[in-house]
Amino acid sequence: MAVLNDRFSDENGVRLNKLGITDKDQLAQAETESSLPRLTQLNRAGGIQGGQYDQAHLKQVHERLFSGVYQWAGETRADREFQGHKDTKVTGFKETMTYAPHKEVPERLNAIGAQLNKENNLKGLAPDKFAERAAYYLDQYNHTHAFRDGNGRTMQATFTQLGKAAGYDVDFNRASPEILNRSRDLAIVRQYPPAEAGKNLQPLKDMFKQVITPTPGVEAEKLRDPSQAPARTPELSPAMRAMDARRELEVTGYRSANIIANMPGPGNREQGVQLAQRIESVNLDPKVLNGPGINEMQLAADKIIKHPGLKDTPLDIADGKRLKVASMQVMQLAEGKEIVAPQQQKQPAASVQEKPAHPAAQVVKTHEEAQPVFAKAAREVAKELEANGQGLAGASLREVAKFVERSPAIVGGNAENFKKAMDAAEKVPSLSGNKFMDELRSSSKVLEMSPPGQERSGPSIGCSGGIER
């Protein structure tokens, strides 16, 4: 079936090619006969000399492999504005595999290349560690999915070069195509939450352990010497953390949309479809979360978490919880804020968090503790605002309290409304030194941070009660 607006293909869905072929099977055969010898030749030559594993590097690899057949060889999806996604049942459930927005392909390839360069392109690593880090980067490149076709062979050439420069022979022929494809798809759909990210990549790591062997010789040993590697794996750049946050929203959002669409009851299918459409929009532009978008996702997550019919489907509930966290993090990205690495997340200052000015004010340290404290304090302060002629500020604060009761975070328009209400409250004499004002200050500091990742509960895999995942 032809894909609408696919500028890489003709009206029948056959890729535009230099050979004038109009049959898909004939074109696939011609592509294989042309690209495989080129792949072998490029691998023997050691890849693209001086390549930095960024956009320029990968475009050169793709052009070398496919220029014998395609006039668009070396062009990324960004060059012809192609998006696309596809379904998989690699987990036993229906999953939607989405890829990076086509317009972001250049910057994402450059961000991945820069992160890889910070790891000295994986030099100085023992075999197990090389396999682990290679799995991480192959997944990142695969999700970016730079090209309309030929991503697999481009990755094979790229990682063969990467391995050779790090003292390893990488031969993908040692693993079957089925193993390679399955391990890539499992990494894309991310069954496990961020706290267990290694489990998502384990099949890819196992695949790499099959296809790599240390290159013999003194020079190769020098490339594997631990002195070549950074003292520790470098922290992810803000760009890489943002990419991961958005991927988390994509996978949990589409799964949540399927869960809701298959719930019994009127309107659920329509709501599920609407949520999937919202996820697709946010994938292309996170700013879509501004306004009602964040509320829609939070309500959808709550519907899953609190639905009595799902109490025995922990995977579905886990996805609902992940959606709540991911949507709030992407909301922060839409506001221009950086996602803080989990190990770097800072708690509010001790002077605010542990020593409130009023002796009766409650101390809060977690989002769960802050949620009820904030909601109660906000309503008490709202009463005082309204009693002092600040009805609009009081009403705004009540709305923020309603949102916080559903989701333990202050983001988007709620953050702005809260700031305005607090500015008004600071001018009310009766609120000076007030217990509830102190509780608002301390709890809001916690709620303004990204919540910690939710961990999957229950068995690692199981049936979703007939719900198509």
Q: What is the pLDDT of residue 289?
A: 85
Question: Contact 271/261 with Cβ under 8 angstroms?
Answer: yes
Sign of the CA dihedral 328, 330, 334, 340? positive
User: Is pLDDT at 137 greater than 90 in this prediction?
Assistant: yes
Across 130-156, average pLDDT = 97
The span from the CA of 188 to the CA of 196, in Å, is 14
Domains of the chain, by residue range, sit at 35-234, 241-342, 365-447
Q: How buried is 282 (Cβ within 10 angstroms: 0-12 exposed, 13-18 middle, 19+ buried)?
A: buried
The span from the CA of 12 to the CA of 267, in Å, is 37
- Point out the least confidently predicted range of 31-35, 163-167, 312-316: 312-316
When pLDDT is cut at 50, 70 and 90, the band that residue 65 belongs to is very high
Q: What is the pLDDT of residue 464?
A: 30
User: Is pLDDT at 54 greater than 60 in this prediction?
Assistant: yes
Q: What is the pLDDT of residue 175?
A: 94
Q: What is the pLDDT of residue 313?
A: 85
Across 259-273, average pLDDT = 92
Q: What is the pLDDT of residue 363?
A: 80
Q: What is the pLDDT of residue 451?
A: 58
Sign of the CA dihedral 348, 351, 356, 362? positive
**Largest Cα span, the chain:** 82
Question: Contact 16/8 with Cβ under 8 angstroms?
Answer: yes
Q: What is the pLDDT of residue 450?
A: 57
- Point out the least confidently predicted range of 72-86, 160-174, 255-269, 408-422: 408-422
The span from the CA of 58 to the CA of 158, in Å, is 7
When pLDDT is cut at 50, 70 and 90, the band that residue 309 belongs to is confident
The span from the CA of 388 to the CA of 424, in Å, is 10
Pairing of strands 168-170, 95-98: unpaired
When pLDDT is cut at 50, 70 and 90, the band that residue 410 belongs to is confident
Question: Contact 223/428 with Cβ under 8 angstroms?
Answer: no
Which CATH number is correct for 35-234, 3.40.50.300, 1.10.3290.10, 3.30.930.10, 1.10.10.10? 1.10.3290.10
For the stretch 285-306, pLDDT in tens is 998 887 778 889 999 999 999 9
Across 194-220, average pLDDT = 95
Which among 6, 7, 12 has a CA at the least distance from the CA of 27? Answer: 12
- pTM of the predicted protein model: 0.77
When pLDDT is cut at 50, 70 and 90, the band that residue 341 belongs to is low
What would the DSSP string read from start to end of 28-88?
Answer: HHHHHHHHHHHHHHHHHTTSSTT--SSHHHHHHHHHHHHTTT-TTTT--HHHHT---EEEE
Q: How far is CA 236 from the centre of its chain?
A: 13
Question: Contact 48/63 with Cβ under 8 angstroms?
Answer: no
Q: What is the pLDDT of residue 90?
A: 87
Phi, psi of 390 (to 5 degrees): -110, 55
Q: What is the pLDDT of residue 1?
A: 44
Across 297-320, average pLDDT = 91
- Point out the least confidently predicted range of 304-308, 319-323, 367-371, 404-408: 404-408
Across 382-403, average pLDDT = 90
Share of the chain above pLDDT 70, in %: 90
The span from the CA of 145 to the CA of 154, in Å, is 10
When pLDDT is cut at 50, 70 and 90, the band that residue 168 belongs to is very high
Residues in Cβ contact with 272 at an 8 Å cutoff, skipping those fewer than 6 apart: 257, 258, 259, 260, 261, 262, 263
Whose tokens are 């002796």? That residue is 359
User: Is pLDDT at 458 greater than 60 in this prediction?
Assistant: no
When pLDDT is cut at 50, 70 and 90, the band that residue 349 belongs to is very low
Q: How far is CA 344 from CA 111, 221, 280, 333, 340, in A?
A: 20, 35, 30, 17, 6
User: Is pLDDT at 108 greater than 50 in this prediction?
Assistant: yes
Structure tokens at 357: 């000015």
Does residue 304 or residue 345 have the better pLDDT? 304
